[in-house]
């Protein structure tokens, strides 16, 4: 299987989201959708049209991305968990998922996406 090309981004910090979009463009990936909260992300997950997702673990207002991760897992959709925290910040049911540590580097994003393929 090849590395995913169409990526759903769930990130609540606009500057980080823009940086990830730039990284994905340079890496010949396409942003298939972007959300900054759980409700919007779940709508995008239901709509489909992407190959994988990058989920910021901690979203604005204390929201956690676990409902999104659960929805993706139920659909068999690969995803990365983006966090600046330790592995302890990952919900137990998702500890086997790849983690993309902040601060992001283009090389780190590429390696993480390639590992999903």
Task: State the pLDDT at residue 86.
Answer: 59
**How far, in Å, CA of 90 to CA of 97, rounded?**
9
How many other C-beta atoms can be found within 10 angstroms of the C-beta atom of residue 2?
A: 7
pLDDT of residue 87: 53
Domains of the chain and CATH, by start: 6-116 (3.40.50.2300)
**Per-residue model confidence as pLDDT tens digits over 53-100:** 999 999 999 999 999 999 999 999 999 999 887 555 788 898 889 889
Per-residue pLDDT of 3-22, as tens digits, reads: 789 999 999 999 999 999 99
* Integer Cα distance of 115 and 34 in angstroms: 21
The pLDDT of residue 107 is 95
């Amino acid at each position: 299987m090849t590395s995913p090309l169409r990526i759903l981004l769930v990130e609540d910090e606009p500057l980080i989201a823009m940086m990830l979009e730039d990284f994905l463009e340079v890496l010949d990936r396409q942003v298939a959708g972007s959300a900054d909260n759980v409700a919007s992300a779940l709508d995008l997950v239901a709509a489909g049209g992407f190959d994988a997702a990058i989920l910021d673990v901690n979203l604005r207002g204390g929201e956690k991305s676990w409902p999104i991760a659960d929805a993706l897992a139920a659909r068999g959709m690969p995803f990365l968990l983006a966090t600046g925290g330790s592995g302890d910040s990952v919900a137990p049911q998702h500890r086997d998922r790849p983690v993309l540590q902040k601060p992001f580097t283009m090389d780190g994003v590429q390696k993480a996406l390639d590992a999903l393929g």
